[in-house]
Amino acid sequence: MIDQDGYFGKGVAETYDDPDSEMFQAEVIDSTVDVLVDLARGGRALELGIGTGRIALPLAGRGVEVHGIDMSRAMVDQLRAKPGGDAIGVTIGDFATATVDGTFSLAYLVFNTLMNLTTQEAQVACFRNVAAHLEPGGLFVVEVMVPELRRLPAGQRAVPYRTGPERWAFDLYDVATQTMSSNYISVADGRVSVWSIPFRYVWPAELDLMAQIAGLSLVERWDGWTREPFTNESAQHVSVWQKPLT
């Protein structure tokens, strides 16, 4: 059963910060924060899906004032328990609709978090919500995967990405509805646990249309946080849209 924290309840929150995960490697965090510091241009930053503060805390440590939105109180509790975590303002709510006082020069969504919004309507609402929070000339940055449909042979829906004697993980795709889920199976002390999270994958061109609906325009699209060019072979992208100056 899903509780008030959605799919990121206490059990997930307490193990979310995995030092062996690529997303928690120092070089990944540093390159992400470097770009966000540059794009914030000395202004305030709004993180949608702030979670345990993987990016917000080092970004604040670089002098950027950060405010976050997150539905999961359990994840925010982990943020609060870290040094400096209690100094970051957080609004509890759905980042597609929750509102925050003031405006921001930068809003950002990292590590596929946009796909936690599982309908097109919610993703469009997110863009509109961000646009309402940005100051004129403000930027919206999204890091998200390119749908991996080229890995699906005809008739196949599952893409495994972790196998082992005690842990398995695979994605399930439904190309008719543009939905997917990440599924995890683990065995510990003779007990099996199963965990599944639904997502909605989204194409770069579709995101550009959502931005246009919200009054934003694309200014940059890179392969990742190192600002390498986005190409046909890119597995992910970091895209930047801007609110008009007037």
Q: Return d(Cα 161, Cα 146) in angstroms, integer.
A: 16
Tokens (6 digits) for 147: 């749908």
Q: pLDDT value at position 1?
A: 41
List the one residue out of 211, 49, 52, 233 whose CA is nearest residue 138: 211
- Provide mean pLDDT across the span 91-105: 97
Alpha helices (H) in the chain, listed in sequence order: 10-15, 26-40, 56-61, 73-80, 120-133, 204-213
Per-residue pLDDT tens digits for 171-204 = 999 999 999 999 999 998 889 999 899 999 999 9
DSSP string of 64-100? --EEEEES-HHHHHHHHTSTTGGGSEEEES-TTT---
In which band, very low, low, confident or very high, does the pLDDT at 3 lie, cut at 50, 70 and 90? Answer: low
Q: Please give the average per-residue pLDDT across 225-245, as a whole number.
A: 97
3-state secondary structure of 33: helix
Q: Give dist(CA 76, CA 50) in Å, integer.
A: 8
Q: Using DSSP, state whether 176 is helix, strand or coil.
A: coil
CA-nearest of 81, 207, 233 to 151 is 233
Its pTM surpasses 0.75: yes
Give pLDDT, residue 110: 98
Query: Which CATH homologous superfamily contains domain 10-146+202-242?
Result: Vaccinia Virus protein VP39 (3.40.50.150)
Bridge partners for 52 per DSSP = none
What rounded mean pLDDT belongs to the chain? Answer: 94
CA–CA dist 136, 195 (Å, integer): 42
Task: Give the tens place of pLDDT for each residue, 142-160.
Answer: 999 999 898 898 889 999 9
Among 53, 51, 54, residue whose Cα is nearest residue 21:
54
**What's the rounded mean pLDDT across residues 59-84?**
97
Question: Measuring CA to CA, which residue among 126, 103, 88 is closest to residue 207?
Answer: 126
Supply the pLDDT for residue 75.
96
Size of the chain in residues: 246
Return the percentage of the chain with pLDDT > 90, whole number: 82
Structural contact between residues 148 and 180, judged by C-beta atoms closer than 8 angstroms: no
Average pLDDT over residues 54-62: 98
